[in-house]
Chains A and B, each alone.
Chain A
Amino acid sequence: MSAENLLTLKNLTAGVGEAGIEILHNIDLRIGKGETHVIMGPNGAGKSTLGYTIMGNPLYEISSGNIIFDGEDITALTADKRAKKGIFLTFQSPVEVPGLTIRQFLRNALQEIKGERIKFSEFNRKLRSVMDTLSFAEEYADRDINVGFSGGERKKAEILQLLMLEPKLAILDETDSGLDVDAVKTVSAGISEYKKNKDGSLLIITHNAAILEALHVDKVHVVVKGKIVAEGDGSLVEEINRNGFERYTNEQ
């Protein structure tokens, strides 16, 4: 645990603001630069809420606690400002945006995040090379984001965005769910590509070990009913795969 701090959640309690329902209770979490963390837990444990809360989805409200990112308190910042600071979230079910192509969208996003104009030629070159890595046919760049995409294509498009935007922290929310073996391979290849940058941190929300096989996992957090109930190193993944969450749910 010598890595410099990137993300710290301090005693974070959050829920659906309008309904006044608390989903996450007193979460403490620390992710260092370049580290890979895994969140595991049964369905409905609040894993996705955790991802959304870190990203700043206005649907969720933080009632107490803080989010510190790269030395700065970002608890009150909107999602776009968090994205500019280097946080990225892949969506479980990425939404369709008719009339906006991946190419237009990504160039816009990249310019926003880098805060400068990016030349078409330079952008197109990078896009082509990343799409190649993901065996994503280039024609998809000129299709409207996610419109008519299969589940696998949507996930690929999310990983494409991850590699184009090069965030400091990538939160992958069930990126591997519902994918066939080939698609999982492609997504894994994308994640390895992201990890080539030694400072890139990962928070992987999953209940599937396949995607973790090729990765060195620094820490595993088990979330049950909105609380972190257990933590450990990478070996915890295997243990849970063998025995499930029963031990943790019973304790609750």
Chain B
Amino acid sequence: MNNNKNSIKDIDRTLYDFKDDESRGDFFREKEGITEEIVRHISEEKEEPQWMLDFRLKCLKIYKETPMPVWGPDISELDMDQIASYVRHKSEMKNNWEDVPEDIKNTFERLGIPQAERLSLAGVGAQYDSEIVYHNLKEEVKKQGVIYTDVETAMKTGYEDIVKDYFMTLVLPTDHKFAALHGAVWSGGSFVYVPKGVKVDIPLQSYFRLNAAGAGQFEHTLIIVEEGADVHFIEGCSAPKYNVANLHAGCVELFVKKNARLRYSTIENWSKNMFNLNTKRVVVDEGGKMEWVSGSFGSHVSYLYPMTILKGEGAQMTYTGITFSGEGQNLDTGAKVVHLAPRTTSVITSKSISKSGGIGTFRSSVVIAKQAKESKCSVSCDSLMLDSISRADTVPAMDIRAHDADVGHEAKIGRISDEAVFYLMSRGMTEEDAKALIVSGFADSVSKELPLEYAVEMNNLIKLEMSGHKT
């Protein structure tokens, strides 16, 4: 991925911007708008049990009754009547890469997904528009009893009870309008079950690709890590750019049981017409450990605040995130944590970069309940603005009910230093390279947390973003 053909006005996104022609008849597409007819049709297509259809209809009702959020970035351009909730390529899910239809295969090959699987992954799932088109899990991991499929398949292959026990019990449809919407029209995503004591040495990965214009992607990710188990899950997202708005309202529900560990890494690079209104939540039992790593580069507007509930004594959470907002982007990201048990700890580290008029807002919420004695939380947020037309905001909220809690908050907001740019230029680097090096350096503590290929991808994204900028 060393393409660096850039233009001045907008960055070169040819790597992500190619799209497959939907009009050729290989695609099935629901009508725009969200109606009961559509919800029933999606459920029918998926041959779902009655309870799931009932749940979808209940969610639809809540969706219609819930107002749009008014506290964050403006989403009035998002016209729900113009969003197609379901687009499916007319092919079945495959577990042999060779059997995946040519156009879809090309898409993922250009994004480097099968290559990554061969190199360093235990399992891969690839979603194209609304449905998972490819799933594969290495034999040795399968033998350990690990289940990695999509939620639909899980319900049909003997795990319906597990799905029923967990599905949207952590993110409730009443949480907000887009959680309700998700419950009504969800499709695809990942179902991961790691049995007690099983440690998966290499990561599982899913890749979400939204190809269709004016469509929504509503994938559901459900991960259950049983007692003492350990897994790393990676998700990547991208989409080509269209002139009409696309919507991503995914939902991620994670369950980390006693002494288990889950690492969840995301590199999100949706195209810049995307409304990314995603909800992620985890509940961590006694001695369990949750690690979030999150890189947000794409989308027009994002609302993204992974939430952690530290339910059991000694449960731990770390969140390491970076957000890069460029021209026309308003990215509202951060993290939420609720300490419910004694001696729970959380560390939230966030970096934000804004340039060319982009707006980056870091929003955090920390709650330490009365019973969460001797708990610790530290929040730090560092923002770098690359010019005087960009904006960075920090909105921290804290609600501390335990007297002996140890809570720290640190926020730094600054402009890129002209002196540092000159320093690097005086050593032979062009202004563009100097700024890119300073920004990569700023992001370094986050890229260190990412798997190598993703760290490389992130650095390439930074270079791409920086090279489109000329002062």
A positions within 8 Å CB-CB of B: 55-59, 78-80, 82-84, 88-89, 91, 94-100, 105, 108-109, 112-113, 144, 161, 165
In-complex Cβ contact of B427 among A56, A78, A98, A165 (8 A): A165
Distance of A97 Cα from B423 Cα, bound (Å): 10
Contact A94 B427, beta carbon cutoff 8 Å: no
Is B95 an interface residue, CB under 8 A from the partner? no
One of B7-15, B203-211, B442-450 at the interface: B442-450
Most buried by A among B423, B424, B426, B440: B426
Contact B430 A80, beta carbon cutoff 8 Å: yes
Distance of A58 Cα from B442 Cα, bound (Å): 23
Residue of A nearest to B434 (CB): A80
Residue of A nearest to B448 (CB): A99
One of B62-70, B220-228, B280-288, B414-422 at the interface: B414-422
Nearest Cβ distance between residue A33 and chain B, in whole angstroms? 21
In the A-B complex, the 9 residue pairs with the closest CB atoms: A99-B441, A99-B444, A112-B428, A79-B425, A109-B427, A100-B441, A83-B428, A113-B428, A80-B425
In-complex Cβ contact of A89 among B426, B431, B444, B445 (8 A): B426
Chain A residues closer than 8 Å to B445, beta-carbon distance: 99
Distance of A22 Cα from B442 Cα, bound (Å): 36
Is B111 an interface residue, CB under 8 A from the partner? no
Contact B437 A108, beta carbon cutoff 8 Å: yes
Most buried by B among A82, A89, A98: A98
Q: Is the interface of A mostly helix, strand, loop or mixed?
A: mixed
Residue of A nearest to B437 (CB): A100
Contact B428 A80, beta carbon cutoff 8 Å: yes
Contact B431 A80, beta carbon cutoff 8 Å: yes
Is B438 an interface residue, CB under 8 A from the partner? yes
- Given known contacts A58-B422, A95-B420, is B440 in contact with A100 (CB within 8 Å)? yes
- Given known contacts A94-B423, A99-B444, is B438 in contact with A84 (CB within 8 Å)? no
Distance of A152 Cα from B53 Cα, bound (Å): 71
Nearest Cβ distance between residue A82 and chain B, in whole angstroms? 8
In-complex Cβ contact of A97 among B431, B437, B443 (8 A): B437
Is B456 an interface residue, CB under 8 A from the partner? no
Nearest Cβ distance between residue B396 and chain A, in whole angstroms? 22
Is B429 an interface residue, CB under 8 A from the partner? yes
Q: Apart from A83-B425, A95-B419, what are 6 other A-B pairs with CB-CB below 8 Å? A: A80-B428, A96-B420, A97-B423, A99-B442, A109-B424, A109-B427
Contact B423 A109, beta carbon cutoff 8 Å: no
B positions within 8 Å CB-CB of A: 417-420, 422-431, 433-434, 437-438, 440-445
Contact A112 B442, beta carbon cutoff 8 Å: no
Chain A residues closer than 8 Å to B443, beta-carbon distance: 99
A-B contact pairs, 19 of them (CB 8 A): A56-B425, A57-B422, A80-B426, A83-B428, A95-B420, A95-B423, A97-B424, A98-B441, A99-B441, A99-B442, A99-B444, A100-B438, A100-B444, A108-B429, A108-B433, A113-B427, A113-B428, A144-B441, A165-B428
Nearest Cβ distance between residue A195 and chain B, in whole angstroms? 21
Contact B429 A91, beta carbon cutoff 8 Å: no
Chain A residues closer than 8 Å to B425, beta-carbon distance: 56, 78-80, 83
Distance of A88 Cα from B428 Cα, bound (Å): 9
Contact B429 A55, beta carbon cutoff 8 Å: no
Nearest Cβ distance between residue A69 and chain B, in whole angstroms? 14
- Given known contacts A59-B418, A79-B422, is B429 in contact with A98 (CB within 8 Å)? no
Distance of A208 Cα from B417 Cα, bound (Å): 30
Most buried by B among A79, A82, A88, A165: A79
Chain A residues closer than 8 Å to B440, beta-carbon distance: 99-100
Nearest Cβ distance between residue A11 and chain B, in whole angstroms? 24
Contact A91 B423, beta carbon cutoff 8 Å: yes
Residue of A nearest to B442 (CB): A99
Contact B429 A80, beta carbon cutoff 8 Å: yes
Contact B419 A84, beta carbon cutoff 8 Å: no
In-complex Cβ contact of A105 among B418, B427, B430, B431 (8 A): B427
Nearest Cβ distance between residue A148 and chain B, in whole angstroms? 14
Chain B residues closer than 8 Å to A98, beta-carbon distance: 441-442, 444
Chain A residues closer than 8 Å to B433, beta-carbon distance: 108, 112
Nearest Cβ distance between residue B415 and chain A, in whole angstroms? 14
In-complex Cβ contact of B438 among A56, A88, A89, A97 (8 A): A97
In-complex Cβ contact of A95 among B417, B428, B437, B442 (8 A): B417
Chain B residues closer than 8 Å to A109, beta-carbon distance: 424, 427-429
Nearest Cβ distance between residue B19 and chain A, in whole angstroms? 35
Residue of B nearest to A84 (CB): B428
Chain B residues closer than 8 Å to A55, beta-carbon distance: 426
Contact A97 B422, beta carbon cutoff 8 Å: no
Distance of A207 Cα from B426 Cα, bound (Å): 24
Distance of A106 Cα from B221 Cα, bound (Å): 44
Nearest Cβ distance between residue A85 and chain B, in whole angstroms? 10
Distance of A113 Cα from B424 Cα, bound (Å): 12
Nearest Cβ distance between residue A186 and chain B, in whole angstroms? 21
Nearest Cβ distance between residue B382 and chain A, in whole angstroms? 9
In-complex Cβ contact of A88 among B418, B426, B430, B437 (8 A): B426
Residue of B nearest to A94 (CB): B423
Nearest Cβ distance between residue A63 and chain B, in whole angstroms? 20
Nearest Cβ distance between residue A147 and chain B, in whole angstroms? 10
Nearest Cβ distance between residue A44 and chain B, in whole angstroms? 19
Distance of A82 Cα from B422 Cα, bound (Å): 12
Distance of A91 Cα from B426 Cα, bound (Å): 10
Chain B residues closer than 8 Å to A79, beta-carbon distance: 422, 425-426
Contact A83 B426, beta carbon cutoff 8 Å: yes
Contact A97 B429, beta carbon cutoff 8 Å: no
Chain A residues closer than 8 Å to B430, beta-carbon distance: 78, 80, 112
